[in-house]
Amino acid sequence: MTTTVVAPSGCSFRPLAGVLTATAVSLTGTRVSAIALPWFVLATTGSATMTGLVAFAEMAPYVAVKALTGPLVDRLGPRVVSWTTDAVSAVAAGLVPLLHAQGLLPFWVLLVMVAVIGAMRGPGDLAKSVMVPEAADRAQVPMERATGLSGVTERLASTVGPAVGGGLVALIGPLAGLAINAGTFALGSLIIAIALPRGMGRSAVPAAATDPSEQEPPAGYWRMFREGFTFLRSEPLLLTVIVMIGITNLIDAGFVTVLVPVWARESGNGPAAIGLLAAVMGATAVVGSLIAAAVASRLPRRTVFFTGFLLCGAPRFLVLALGAPMWLVLTVVAISGFGSGFLNPIIGAVLFERVPRHLLGRVHALGDSLAWAGIPLGGLVAGAAVALVGLIPSLIVGGVLYFATTTLAGLRPEWREMDRRRGSETRADSTAVEPEPAHSA
């Protein structure tokens, strides 16, 4: 069967702007909820363990559904998947404050609503990410710059969302943050449905052969799933990145959903401090992402990648464990945010370079799900650790594990493949649109 690519014609910035705007809106609401929901559970139950259970209820469906929807994103198109899942998330998120106001929100119902949101967020986030390469092609923007802009968008959401969430929770209460989350999901769905052209994200699918005798029936779901799994298994660099990030994501999840809220409560700083820390880290991450978007092709990827993890990992845990004054905590968090801003543009560029476009949904879904597999457990582990040994030992152990993971992983030989020479070819096959090559270290 002949494999050709239906390439977008002309130059249009509207799809890229639409994807980035919808991502910013949806993520901002999610970051608001990340402050409001744990504080709501802590305020109503007083239990760190139950707070971790709510985090598990959201992230376990997120990971599982995301892993299984890659073939559907490739077949149906990411635009349709994005706006429909965001619409369902808006309804589920809106029901939480509504049911609570009516006295109809027992804990098990809260878990169900949170699970629905997580199950819809997984494919919704995947679909938006999958549309970035084609949107970059349509705008004639280099791939690393597009992934850098995507990273800036995520970091801006991580700055505005926690600041708004922390302020709202402190002034009005956590339910206001949950209501905003519902509104942002609805707005993100509307942006995707209106701003992006129909069929967006499906232009890299191999075109049908002109000779009817050469045409093949569409591949079944499990065959598509198996193709994505087989390709990912053949990529040692991607697998190494996924394993390392999977471990750090587990530790980060416990830090964000349990350890920081418990620290804020025990230190007397309150929910506003949670939002302030996240906003400061997000603001400096925006700066790092902007620099990465501007000069990423001239930076040594491997060195920048591991330096970024060194800055954004263990120091956050240790400064809280030491009971440092707020100015020092904010300084360390600011430095951590700056380092983290360089990570996603590098990871995104490596992924889009090495994965053929027609496999992108499947491989991206599997890779993300494996990397996020530990996140549902992060809150449970952190909640249990606080209950067993207390906050400070939990923070110290988390920081040590983070440092060991990001340092020892760098000894693996696969990381040499991260640095590419100008003009070198990517691993993507001839059906993929080649991104702009990066400079070597």
Per-residue pLDDT tens digits for 323-352: 889 999 999 999 999 998 888 777 877 877
Q: How far apart are the first and last CA of the chain?
A: 39
Q: What pLDDT is stored for residue 424 in this prediction?
A: 40
Cα maximum dimension of the chain: 73
- Percent of the chain exceeding pLDDT 90 equals 22
Residue 98: is its pLDDT beyond 80?
yes
pLDDT tens digits, one per residue of 11-42: 677 888 888 898 888 888 888 888 888 888 88
Position 105: which residue type? L
Compute the average pLDDT of residues 241-263.
90
* Dihedral angle sign, alpha carbons of residues 37, 43, 48, 49: negative
* CA gap 385, 395 in Å, rounded: 9
pLDDT of residue 291: 83
* Residues 258-267, mean pLDDT to the nearest whole number: 90
Q: Spell out the domains of the chain, with CATH numbers in brackets.
A: 14-201+221-418 (1.20.1250.20)
User: Model's pTM, two decimal places?
Assistant: 0.66
Q: Identify the pLDDT of residue 31.
A: 84
pLDDT of residue 72: 81
Q: What pLDDT band is residue 212 in, cutting at 50, 70 and 90?
A: very low
Tell me what pLDDT residue 423 has.
Answer: 38
Contact assessment for residue 398 and residue 250, using Cβ atoms and an 8 Å cutoff: no
Q: How confident is the model at residue 297 (pLDDT cuts 50, 70, 90)?
A: low
Range with the poorest average pLDDT among 144-148, 188-192, 270-274, 281-285: 144-148
Please compute the mean of the pLDDT values over residues 196-214 and round it to a whole number.
54
pLDDT band at 420 (very low <50, low <70, confident <90, very high): low
Instruction: Report yes or no: 105 and 175 within 8 Å, Cβ to Cβ.
Output: no
- The confidence band for 144, taking pLDDT boundaries of 50, 70 and 90, is low
Read off the pLDDT of each residue in 258-271 and give the average, rounded to a whole number.
88
List, for residues 46-85, the tens digit of each pLDDT value.
Answer: 887 888 888 888 888 888 888 888 788 878 888 889 999 9
Q: What is the pLDDT of residue 422?
A: 38
pLDDT at position 215: 45
Residue 2 pLDDT: 35
pLDDT at residue 119 is higher than 80: yes
Tell me the pLDDT band of 385, cut-offs 50, 70 and 90.
very high
State both tokens at 320: 């809280």
Residue 214 is predicted with a pLDDT of: 44
Three-state SS string over the chain comes to CCCCCCCCCCCCCHHHHHHHHHHHHHHHHHHHHHHHHHHHHHHHHCCHHHHHHHHHHHHHHHHHHHHHCHHHHHHHCHHHHHHHHHHHHHHHHHHHHHHHHCCCCCHHHHHHHHHHHHHHHHHHHHHHHHHHHHHHHHHCCCHHHHHHHHHHHHHHHHHHHHHHHHHHHHHCCHHHHHHHHHHHHHHHHHHHHHHCCCCCCCCCCCCCCCCHHHCCCCCCHHHHHHHHHHHHHCCHHHHHHHHHHHHHHHHHHHHHHHHHHHHHHHHCCHHHHHHHHHHHHHHHHHHHHHHHHHHHHHCCHHHHHHHHHHHHCHHHHHHHHCCCCHHHHHHHHHHHHHHHCCHHHHHHHHHHHHCCHHHHHHHHHHHHHHHCCCHHHHHHHHHHHHHHHCHHHHHHHHHHHHHHHHHHHHHCHHHHHHCCCCCCCCCCCCCCCCCCCCCCC
Per-residue confidence (pLDDT) for residue 10, from 0 to 100? 54
Work out the pLDDT band at 434, boundaries 50, 70, 90: very low
Question: Is 213's pLDDT higher than 70?
Answer: no
Using alpha carbons, select from 82, 40, 83, 33 the residue that is nearest to residue 58: 33
Residue 434 is which amino acid? E
List of residues 6+ apart from 422 with CB closer than 8 A: 437, 438, 439, 440
Tell me the torsion sign for CA atoms 346, 366, 156, 357: positive
Q: Average pLDDT over the chain, rounded to whole? A: 80
Q: For residue range 307-323, list pLDDT tens digits in order.
A: 889 999 899 999 999 98
The per-residue pLDDT for 439 is: 35
